[in-house]
Structure 1
Amino acid sequence: MEKDLWEEICFILTETIPSNVSEQIYENKVIRVFEKLGWSQYKKELSVRESIQFGAANRMCPDIIIRNGKSEPVFVVEIKKPTADLNFSGHKNQLASYMRMLRTPVGILVGDKFKVFTEMPNSRENEIFLIEEIPLKKTTEKGAAFVQSFKKSENIYNSIESYVQSGLKKYNEKRKVKEIENRLNQGNFSDEIFELVKDRLIEFYDPNLVEKVLMDYEFEVRSKKAAFHDIESSHSLAITTSQVRSSDSNAKRTKDGLKIGEYVQKTFRELFANNKLNSNDIQALLSPDYSKRVLNAGYPVLRNTSQGRADHKGYNRYYKEVFGGKYYLSAQWNVSHWESFENWLKEIYRRGLP
């Protein structure tokens, strides 16, 4: 039944109007739609352009106010002709003002689609949130749910509340998805990916051989949305070997003819030999938080020899060589660490002697 009624609503708002329809004619069509949902103008359940005073001399006239049998506002509707841009902030702000003044939990913006808004608890003044957007297409499943929730019924408040909660759940999920996407786009997960791949390969191959091979690989998280001819999917893991990278990237793979791991070892030998690291530097490099934040390292850069070279799985994560007489140096370096390591090293040399 709801599906049939939604198809009739789509017919009224799309197939019975000219392309250049005026807002007034379209408004009459929308009024007809809400009458189809059971709200009667005769019974004063559907109020059109009702003038409502607020303050000493101000008035507002919402396009449609839906009221219950006690004349209490249930929801409010603002109508724009189909060619209007419903994303224009002024339309949303106007609807928000009506909702706030009438104290309705829901407002509906109607144009070439239905946009259903609600006000979050503790939201800022005049701030409402989109919880559903329903295209005027007979095939959309959202249409039947809209009809079920907003048609006249004895349990209309419960129906709308259920609709709002469902919409808020989807709104919050979208917000979380956006947060995750932002982290993927802004964060550097290459080290974590590198370690996961290494751990997996070490289950089958010699750890030293795996590490040697992986030195020629780098890993990154890349959104396929940014690619023109990618397979349809939200995200992918891109794995690229050094042989197919640009010349600029290849130049970063070695310095003085040394790969990143070799260069780091050479550098720390020199730093310790020339007393360039003070006690604060060493304590920082022993810290997993500092090592991760500054050098993007998955393990503390330095470790006391008393702790050994192996991690909790028994895999050696540190070079055999002892640095500074009592420290092991992390062996977990790959091409993604070049920039952070060079920036850290520049700061060490910039300050001069400790």
Structure 2
Amino acid sequence: MSLEKSENLWAEICYILSENISKEIDESAFQREIIRVLEKLGWSQFRGEIVEKPCLQIGSTGNIYPDILVQSLGNHSRKFIIEVKKPAVDSTNDAYTRQLYSYMRQVKCELGLIIGDTLSIYLDEKEGVHENFTCLKKIPLSMGAKEEGSLFVQTFSKDGYEHSDRVQEYVKDKLHRIGQAKAYDQMRAMLLSDKYQKNLVSVIRSDIAKVLDEPMCDKLLDEIQVTIKTKIANTVQVAIKPFSTSKTGVTDIGNSTTTPGVKDSTRYLFDGKAYGKGKLALAIVKKYVQDNPHTTYNELQTIFPKDVQGSHGVFVVADVAIKAYNRERRRRHFLATEDLIRLADATIAVSTQWGIFNISNIIEISKRYGYEIAEVK
């Protein structure tokens, strides 16, 4: 399948499962739409490749009824199981993933999907007694996720399964990415740990001991400090110049999207907390990354394009924001350590430049992922 064809098919899937339906659609109706999508991916319900609510025997007396089973026509080997959740609910709920895992483990099906407000792909790596259940990817049902969506189409279409290497390569790549993200966090924690820095001092002592005797080594090491810090902690000043009020009466945060003389104090309730505009934008991006922990910088840019905010963009690489602050002494991004967001391949800083004319853009995007935001006057 060509890249263009898979991208077009992903666009059609997004239309069917997100853009053209109500968030309040019931589960049965939504399941019918998923069947439409599977048919477009080349599977056939007529030929018995798509089975709804199959009665699968477990043991001598038990039965289970997953929502959808996709299987091969010839030997009826089980390709993947789908659990359907209506878009109005959080499909990433642990109870739903445990249910899917139970089905996959009992029928020895390696791959499973949960389709609701997002499309989540899960792998049961082993058929033994040990749990090794992994979320390979969570894909928003939007064209912002075109790259991952296209890859899903190429892998989970019937054509993709007829090329067994394609499915295995997909799984291998996702496991590699997950492993690298975990290893990155582990290596970073190790480098910043007290134990590692003490070991580093020992290495330095060994080098200088080749020239200095022990008392002089001690003296030299007492006079210097050996510390490994993140560039962010090393560069950002702890005390950031507070915002000032301009002559127009508008808080001066460089917000070119706010009309001089117009001050809008609307706050927004999101995830149980009330936020101003800038902090709301930050909370939305944080929430998305929390829900999709393996997101890369480029992937996040497709979800939150630059023009959603305006000329500055929704976010930039943290180092870029820090250098801009040190140069201009004007804070255009959230730079506090707790506000920086770690992605799979970068650390980012979210723009502070939000006003009455652009905050609605990011709110609209958040609603596509089922995030509920209410104005608090």
* TM-score of Structure 1 vs Structure 2, range by shorter chain: 0.5 to 0.7
d(CA) in 1 for partners of 2:224, 2:168? 53
Go from structure 1 to structure 2 and tell me whether the alpha carbon gap of 1:80 and 1:221 turns closer, same or farther (over 3 Å shift).
farther
Unaligned runs of 5+ in 2: 209-214, 238-316, 323-377
Matched residue, 1:179: 186
Partner of 1:161: 168
Q: Aligned-pair distance for 1:147? A: 0.5
Question: Separation in 1 of the partners of 2:217 and 2:144?
Answer: 53
Q: Distance in 1 between matches of 2:30 and 2:118?
A: 13
Alpha-carbon offset, residue 15 of structure 1: 0.6
Q: Secondary structure at the match of 1:129?
A: strand
C-alpha separation in 1, matches of 2:186 and 2:81: 32
1:69 aligns with 2:155: no
What CA distance in whole angstroms lies between the structure 1 residues aligned with 2:205 and 2:128? 47
Does residue 1:28 correspond to 2:32, yes or no? yes
Q: Distance in 2 between matches of 1:197 and 1:82?
A: 58
1:56 aligns with 60
Q: TM-score, normalised by structure 2?
A: 0.52
Letter in 2 for 1:99: M
Q: Deviations over 1:249-298 (max 9, x none)?
A: xxxxxxxxxxxxxxxxxxxxxxxxxxxxxxxxxxxxxxxxxxxxxxxxxx
Amino acid corresponding to residue 232 of structure 1 in structure 2: A
**Aligned residue for 2:119?**
114
Q: How far apart, in 1, do the equivalents of 2:231 and 2:81 lie?
A: 40
Where does residue 136 of structure 1 map in the other structure?
141
Counterpart residue number, 1:232? 318
Counterpart residue number, 1:188: 195
SS in 1 for 2:136: strand
Separation (CA, whole Å) in 1 of partners of 2:162 and 2:11 = 23
Q: Distance in 2 between matches of 1:145 and 1:8?
A: 14
Number of positions where the alignment pairs a residue of Structure 1 with one of Structure 2? 233
Instruction: Tell me the CA shift for residue 121 of structure 1.
Output: 3.7
Deviations 1:121-155 (A, max 9, x none): 47644541112222222132111111001111262
* Counterpart Cα distance in 1 of 2:233 and 2:31: 40
TM-score, normalization: structure 1?
Answer: 0.55
User: Which of the residues 146, 154, 159 maps onto 1:148?
Assistant: 154
| Counterpart contact for 1:224–1:232, Cα < 8 Å | no
What CA deviation, in whole Å up to 9, does each residue of 1:52-110 have, x standing for no partner?
22223322111111111222211111111223333322212211122123222211111
Contact 2:69 2:80 in 1 (8 A): yes
Match of 2:47 in 1: 43
Query: Does residue 7 of the first structure (1) align with residue 33 of the second (2)?
Result: no
CA 1:193 to 1:48, structure 2 compared with 1: closer, same or farther past 3 Å?
same
The 5 A counterparts of 1:98-113 are: 98-113=103-118
* Higher Cα Rg, which structure: 1
Q: In the superposition, relative to structure 1, how do residues 183 and 28 fare at CA in structure 2: closer, same or farther (>3 Å)?
A: same
Q: Which amino acid aligns with 1:137?
A: S
CA-atom RMSD, angstroms?
3.7
* Structure 1 residues 31 and 199, CA gap change in structure 2 (3 angstroms): farther
Tell whether the 8 Å contact from 2:109 to 2:124 is kept in structure 1 after alignment: no
Q: What is the CA distance between 1:186 and its match in structure 2?
A: 4.2
Contact 2:51–2:69 (8 Å) recurs in 1: yes
- After superposition, the Cα gap between the structure-2 partners of 1:113 and 1:196, relative to the gap in structure 1 and judged at 3 Å, is farther
Equivalent position of 1:97 in the other structure: 102
Gaps of 5+ in 1: 202-207, 237-354
Q: Evaluate the alpha carbon distance shift between residue 34 and residue 215 of structure 1 in structure 2; reply closer, same or farther with a 3 A threshold.
A: same
TM-superposed CA distance for 1:221, in Å, is 3.7
Within a 5 Å distance, the mapping from 1:313-328 to structure 2 comes to none
